[in-house]
A and B are shown apart, each in its own frame.
Chain A
Amino acid sequence: MRWLLRKDLLILRRSRLLVVLLVVYPVAIALLIGFAISRSPARPRVAIVDQAAPGATIKVGSQRVAVGEYARQLFNQVQAVEVPSRAQAIAKVKSGEVLAAVVIPSDIAARVSSATEKAQVEVLYNGDALEQSLVQSTLDSALAQANLGFSAQIQQAAGAVIGSLLKGGKLGSIGAPEDLIGLEQIPPTLGKIIARQPRGHDRMELERIDTFAGFAAQNLTLSRAVLATIGQPIRVNSVLLHGRRTPLNTFAVVVAVSVSLMFVCVLLAAGGVALEREESALARLIRSPPGLISREALLAEKTLLAAGCAFVIAFAMLAGIAAFVALDWSRVVLWVIALAVGAVALGALGVAIGALAREVRAASLLAFLTTLPLAFLALVPGGSVSGGFYDAINAISFVFPFKAALQALDTAVNGAAPSMGFSLIHLAVLAAVFGALARVGLREVE
C-alpha cells in the first residue's frame, strides 16, 4: 500500500493546479459560509421622512413626550438617511439607495394624544419577493423596537402623573390647583378630622370617604407596576439544555473547517479511485490471482490519502483561525480526534463516489453535487422549515457523514454537546457503510 500511496502523492505533487484548486476552492467556500453565518445582518439603510412639526409633543396628563423621541428610537434601529419629502424617499427606494423608507406623518402627535385614533407610520419598500420578505421582517423588528422604546417614554410620563396624584403638590398642568393634596395624604389627614367628629351620620360619611381614599391610593400605586407590565408583559429566560452556549463566530469557524474537510476529502478520494479506472490501471492492480493489491487495501489507501490531506488542511485552517478567534487550545486533542474520524468517514464517502462514477470528471461532478447540498442541509436550523421537511432534511443529513463530522468538531472545539462519543460512533458506522458501497462499486473492474 505504501508504494501506491507514494505514487499518489507524486501524482498530486505534479498536479499543482488540482492541488491549488483543492485547497483554495473549499477554503474560499468555507470562509464565505463562515462569514455569512457569523456576521449578523448590518442595520438596514432606511430613509426617514419626519413630517411631524419640530418640537411637537404628546400630552400625557400633565407630562409631555417629544414626538422626536420616536424618530430617535427608530434612528437607533436602522442606518437612517434623513429625507425631507415622501417623493424623495420613494426615489431613494426605487434607486436602491435605501432598502425602504419610513414616513412619520405630521398628525402623529395629535393621533397619539387623542387616545381614540391610532397613530400610524408609512413604510415604503421595493424589490423582488425575497427582498420584500427580508425588508418587511427587518423593518417590522426595527419598528417594534422603536415602538417599545417610545412606549417606555410614554409609560415614564404616565408614571410621573400617577406619582403626582399620589403624592400631591404642584401638578404643572394649566388650571390645576397650586398645592394639591395627594391621595396618599387623604387617609391620615381625614383620620384626624374623623377622630374629632361626634358619632353620627356625618362621621360615618367621612369614614366612607376615608376608606375610598385609602383604597384608591393603594390601587393607583399598583397601576404604576401594571403600566410597566403592559410595556413588556413577558420576560424571556433562555435555558440551554445541552452543553455550553456556542458563540456564533466560533460555530462559524467549525462550519468553515468542516466544509473544507468535506470538499477536500470527498473530491480527492473520489478522484483518486476514478483516476485508477481512467488510467486503466485498476485492472492491473487488483486482478487475481495473486493481485498486486486487494480491493480493500486500494480503497483504504485512497481513503487515508484523502483523509490525511484534508486533515492537514483543516487543522492548518483551525490553527490559523485561532490567531483571530479565541479558540480553546487545551481541547486540541479533541480537535485532532474529531478531524481524523470525520476525515476518514468523508474519505469513505469519496471512494464510494469514485468507485461508482468510474471516471474522474463524473466523479468530480458527483462529488460536488453531493457535497454542496449536504453542507447547506446540515445548516438548516430547526423551525425554519416545516416539521415534515425538517425531518426529511435530518434523515438525509444522518445518512451522510457531514453533519456528524460538523457536530463532532463543534463539540471538540466549542464543547457544544456533553460528549462527542455518539458523533464518532456515527461517523465510524458511516465510514464502514460507504466503504462497503465502494467495495461493491469495485466488484467489476472492466
Chain B
Amino acid sequence: MTSALSVSALAKHYGGLEALKDISFQAGTGELVAVVGPNGAGKTTLLSIIAGIQTPSAGTVDRTAGDVGWAPQQPALYSKLSVAENLELFARLEGIADPQAAVARMLEQSGLGGRAHEPVGRLSGGNRQRVNVALGLIADPPVLALDEPSASLDPGQRERLWEFLAARVANGTTVVFSTHNVSEAQRYAHRLLVLADGRLLFDDVAAALLERGGESAGGDLELALVRFLGEHA
C-alpha cells in the first residue's frame, strides 16, 4: 500500500501546554484510520494540523499526494445558502474546472440530490454533516480528515454517512477520522491510533488492541481500550 499521508515527529505547544508530543504515523492510499482517545488527548489538534488549520510547533506533515479534505466536527456551512449553493461556492473557491459537474457528483454521492435547493439551516444534523463531509470531498482530495463526523448523528444517519465514506475509500481516498465511538472505529477503520495526553500510544489494527486488553476484556474493544489507557496512565 503506497503512503498517502505521512506524519513525522509532530508536536504542538500552546504556551507551556504540550498538546501533541512526537507523533509519527503513515496512512496508505484507500486506508481508513481511526484516531481514538479520551477528551483532551489531542485528536482534534492532530486532525487540524493534518488539514492545515493549525501549524505544528515541530515536525512535518507530508501531503505530497495532494490537498487534504477537511470536515470539522461543527459543520462549516453557510446556513442561509442551499446545499447546492454551498457546494458550488467551495467548488469555485477550490478552482475546480467544472464546478456544476462536481456539485452534481457530490449531491449524488451524498444522497442529498432531492434537497439540493433547501437552505442548509433547515436540514437535520445528519444531513448537515453529510454536506459538511461532501464539502471536504468536493475537490476530490486523496486524503480526508474528519473530526468526529458522527458525533451528533442517530444510528440511521451514521449508517448512511459510513456508506458514503466507504464508497470514497473504495475509490482510493484515504480517510483519517477521530471518534469517541470505539465500536464505530472497530467496525469501519482499517487501523486504530490511540492518543492520550498528546502522545501516540498505539498504532495497529483493532484486533491487536483487543489482544492487549487480554481475555478479561472479553472481546469488548471499548473495555480493552480503557484497560490499555489505564496501563499507560
Contact = CB atoms under 8 A, between A and B. Distances in A.
A245 interface: no
Contacts of B75: 280
Interface residues of B, number: 25
B52 interface: yes
Interface string B50-72: 01111100000001000100101
B51 A287 contact: yes
A31 B154 CA distance: 53
Interface in A38-63: none
Contacts of A279: 76-79
Contacts, number: 60
B159 interface: no
A244 interface: no
Nearest to A8: B78
A280 B72 contact: yes
A279 B93 CA distance: 17
A282 to B, nearest CB: 8
B80 interface: yes
Interface string B23-59: 0000000000000000000000000100111110000
Contacts of A291: 52
A281 B80 CA distance: 13
B135 interface: yes
A444 B51 CA distance: 14
Interface stretch (A9-17, A166-174, A255-263): A9-17
Interface stretch (B84-92, B106-114, B211-219): B84-92
Contact of B78 (A7, A283, A289): A7
Label chain A's interface by main secondary structure: loop
Contacts of A331: none
B151 interface: no
B76 A4 contact: no
A61 B13 CA distance: 99
Nearest to B119: A14
Contacts of A446: 48, 53-54
Interface in A234-284: 279-281, 283-284
Contacts of B54: 444, 446
A288 interface: yes
A285 B77 CA distance: 11
A444 B55 CA distance: 10
A93 to B, nearest CB: 57
B53 A281 contact: no
A281 B67 contact: no
B93 A293 contact: yes
B92 A3 contact: yes
Interface in B83-132: 85, 89-90, 92-94
B89 A3 contact: yes
B80 A15 contact: yes
B48 to A, nearest CB: 6
B52 A284 contact: no
Given A289-B52, A446-B48, A7 B89 contact: yes
A445 interface: yes
A444 B77 CA distance: 19
Contacts of B52: 287-289, 291
A292 interface: yes
Contact of B70 (A287, A289, A290, A444): A287
Given A279-B78, A290-B67, A292-B93, 8 more contacts: A10-B85, A14-B80, A279-B77, A281-B78, A283-B53, A283-B76, A292-B90, A446-B53
20 contacts: A4-B89, A7-B89, A11-B78, A11-B81, A279-B78, A279-B79, A280-B72, A280-B75, A281-B76, A284-B70, A284-B76, A284-B90, A285-B93, A287-B52, A287-B70, A288-B55, A289-B67, A292-B90, A293-B93, A445-B53
Interface of A: 3-4, 7, 10-11, 14-15, 279-281, 283-285, 287-293, 444-446
Interface of B: 48, 51-55, 63, 67, 70, 72, 74-81, 85, 89-90, 92-94, 135
